[in-house]
Chains A and B, each alone.
Chain A
């Protein structure tokens, strides 16, 4: 668990790569870790995250300055919450363009808030280029590639030369279990989950096992954010 707040942005310029599922899992992970969590859904018109987690999620748009102020001013506000952003592919470019211009990551750091970007890996050139650009623009953010195993076994490491050694894994959920988690509203933290949606016991056990593997990956991500922060603090001191 982080000892300070973080903003995690789940982003890819491609649709249907598992962003919303990742954002749901992250939000529920932090809730389970007893964080105050605010999730932001930037998928204009769809608002899938908001349907799954209506209590935690705010829908947002950054098409105009009022929307940008409503979102970014709240993101950097010192309100003691952990924030998760489900960034729709249509808003990818404009979000990061505004974030870069206004110095979003630097401002968050000044307020002791870490920014992490989770980027589901796909082999297309648009994604590779977008990731490369993110690395250049946001040197103070922790960037993590995510291998969504549902998209296939290949990690495409060769295509992402800047990715370093680590890559987060999102294990594929067995096809028979997906139906249980795909009807909103749905929270993974719901202790009554099995009863509520009528999941058989064996399926429930399997689901919990899958969840534990993912939460382990999230804990490692938290450690990486912490480590990156310590490294930059040491660099600043030396």
Chain B
């Protein structure tokens, strides 16, 4: 049996696209028939839950009860992959808590697969987070995600400064989320459905929708590029080594 995997998606500031990345992950694992559950820590009102209501539970990650709900069930839950969408400002404290409950230790021993998707903002402050986060997580699979979804001009950082931080983390990998046409993005937001459903022209109830073919096409192309990034870093092999990585076609 594959060991449980936990993917923590976070950033220490809001508005950098954590939930968007979490949504692409849930779609990606869904396409690979990998049972996945998600926790949305934007308690009490979760954005991720709006898009993936059946898979998502809204939790208060600072409460012990909810921590138990997430981590005590890792071995017993049907879903072998757990995605945690961490609320803005909670990445460091969540990692801290994970350290205290011995979770990070279990990951180091190989009992749990642990990955951090650190979504990068455009300011220099978030670079300093990298060093801070890296110190806490130790040997976890660490992905620095540059999210271009809503931007064309993005990081104003000096590449040398960025690389200095980046190289401090052993085995860290970069993932780039490309830009998606603004109207296409907005329409998916309005539809409140997973990207895959929007592409397949389905409503939240699974009924036929009437989304623009052009917008669906843009989303399909974009999601395909995002998934190529996940393929490139061998994400599916990491969380579920026994599953054949042969899904290339986006629904629709």
Contact = CB atoms under 8 A, between A and B. Distances in A.
A90 interface: no
Contact of B212 (A73, A98, A101): A73
Nearest to B219: A102
Contacts of B217: 72, 101-104, 107
Task: Point out which of B181, B184, B214, B215 has the most chain A C-beta atoms below 10 A from its C-beta.
Answer: B214
A65 interface: yes
Interface string A81-119: 000000000000000001001111001000000000000
Interface residues of A, number: 12
B220 interface: yes
Given A73-B214, A102-B213, A102-B214, A65 B221 contact: no
A96 B48 CA distance: 35
Contacts of A127: none
Nearest to A100: B221
Nearest to A107: B213
B183 interface: yes
B218 interface: yes
Given A65-B181, A65-B183, A72 B221 contact: no
A68 B182 CA distance: 14
B214 A103 contact: no
A65 B218 CA distance: 10
Interface string A187-211: 0000000000000000000000000
B214 A65 contact: yes
Interface string A152-192: 00000000000000000000000000000000000000000
Contacts of B213: 72-73, 76, 102, 107
A230 interface: no
Interface of A: 65, 68-69, 72-73, 76, 98, 101-104, 107
8 contacts: A65-B184, A69-B214, A72-B213, A72-B214, A73-B212, A73-B214, A102-B220, A102-B221
Q: Which 7 A-B pairs have the closest CB atoms?
A: A102-B217, A101-B221, A69-B214, A72-B214, A65-B183, A69-B212, A68-B214
